Amino acid sequence: MISLSNSNAHRVAAAWAVLAPLAVAAAPVAWLDQPALMPVPDAVAAAPGAPCAQSDLVLTLGGQGAWHGQATQELLLRNRSAARCQLSALPVIELQSASGWQAARVRPMAETADAVELAPNEALAVLLGTPGACEATLRPERTVVRHLRVLPPGGGVLDAAGAHVDTTCGPAMIVRADRHGTRAARPMPGSTESLTVQVTTPATVVAGASFNYLVTLKNPGDQAVALSPCPSYEQVLNTHTGTTAAALRLNCSGAGDSVPAHGEVQFEMRASVPEASAHDAGVKLSWRLAGGPAAGTVIPLH
């Protein structure tokens, strides 16, 4: 029989207290097939405010990507003044082509309403989209616009060079507009905004087929994050020829309605891969928790 001194017994007990939670990893929370409505983007608010002057705004180019089968270029129109200001309508965006300046059309959507109020350092993110696939893309020549300008409703012109708007398959269109605030350097403890997210997918997926993947919500803070009311999430999968999108409810009750402090919870997810063409090497997956973090990845097609 092995006896332990009191000090050694305390050390052993402390070690087990640390290792015990790690000994058995919790099984992922089962996927819940329950449709939900994502919150309407608050990008477009009609609150009164002084009109944004050209001197209040700065234009920068965001990332390039894909959205609902469109090849996209993001533009950020940020309020650099110290006061709130309002855009009475979406700005006009013009692209420089061989035949001169051409205005982008606007796709009628709920996200692009009439008035947008910007707080200091807040930005209107405008997504320009063009058709992502057509017969013309089989040829080596592409028509790409590198220079564009924005005409705010209050007057003036803001230029941006270095864009990449591929108009080979058709003209550019404003497909989305959202107000982007600056994320707090230290999100409120215990809020869904304080969570981080990691997406784990299969090595490959098959076009037109369904697959399962994992989403891990991690809480680096000292307070548990309540999942009540239960948030919804949005997942979007894009190829050049198709899009699948869904807004679903997270299985919060399966997770005990919270993410523990300094802990994590894994959730099973299920998605359908859109149809793809021979030119698609992968599918782009985007995942976003309402009021919380977002993540994305590209999964090779098998």
pLDDT category at 5 given cuts 50, 70, 90 is low
Q: Which two tokens stand for residue 239?
A: 């190829």
Q: Which residue has the higher pLDDT, 35 or 136?
A: 35
Q: Which residue has the higher pLDDT, 103 or 137?
A: 103
Domains of the chain are 54-180 (2.60.40), 185-300 (2.60.40.10)
What's the rounded mean pLDDT across residues 4-21? 48
pLDDT category at 150 given cuts 50, 70, 90 is very high
pLDDT of residue 153: 87
- Residue 288 has a CB neighbour count (10 Å cut-off) of 18
Q: What is the DSSP string of the chain?
A: -----HHHHHHHHHHHHHHHHHHSPPPPBPP---B-PPPPPTT------PBPPGGGEEEEEEEEEEETTEEEEEEEEEE-SSS-EEESSPPEEEEEETTEEEEPEE---TTS-S-EEE-TT-EEEEEEEEE---GGGGSS---EEEEEEEE-TTS--EEEEEEEEE-TTS--EEEEEEEEPPPPSSPPTTSGGG-EEEEE--S-B-TT-EEEEEEEEEE-SSS-EE--SPPEEEEEEE-SS-EEEEEEE--TGGGTTEE-TTEEEEEEEEEEPPP--TT--EEEEEEEETTS-EEEEEEEB-
Q: Which residue has the higher pLDDT, 45 or 256?
A: 256
Q: Which two tokens stand for residue 155?
A: 């007057």
Residue-wise pLDDT tens digits, 235-288: 988 887 788 888 999 999 999 999 999 999 999 999 999 988 777 788 989 898
What's the rounded mean pLDDT across residues 32-58? 69
What's the rounded mean pLDDT across residues 21-37? 76
Asked if residue 12 has pLDDT above 50, the reply is no
pLDDT of residue 184: 43
Asked if residue 56 has pLDDT above 80, the reply is yes
Q: Which residue has the higher pLDDT, 47 or 186?
A: 186
The answer to whether 270 and 210 have CB atoms below 8 angstroms apart is: yes
Strand order in the sheet with 123-131: 57-67, 70-79, 123-131, 173-180, 105-106
Spatial distance between the Cα atoms of 211 and 205, rounded to a whole number of angstroms: 7
- Residue 104 has a CB neighbour count (10 Å cut-off) of 22
Least confident of 148-152, 197-201, 240-244: 240-244
Asked if residue 174 has pLDDT above 60, the reply is yes
Residue identified by tokens 């082509």 is: 97
Question: Please, what's the b/e burial string for 263-286 (b: 16 or more CB within 10 A of its CB; e: otherwise)?
Answer: ebbbbbbebebbebeeebeebbbb
Q: Which residue has the higher pLDDT, 241 or 212?
A: 212
CA distances (Å), origin 253, targets 177, 228, 257: 34, 9, 5
pLDDT of residue 16: 45
What's the rounded mean pLDDT across residues 177-205? 79
pLDDT of residue 197: 93
Asked if residue 94 has pLDDT above 60, the reply is yes
CA dihedral 263, 247, 179, 220 (to 10 degrees): 0
pLDDT category at 189 given cuts 50, 70, 90 is confident
Asked if residue 207 has pLDDT above 70, the reply is yes
Highest mean pLDDT of the ranges 28-37, 40-49, 124-133, 177-186 = 28-37
Nearest to 127 by CA among 100, 147, 102, 109: 109
pLDDT of residue 2: 44
pLDDT category at 38 given cuts 50, 70, 90 is low
pTM for this one? 0.52
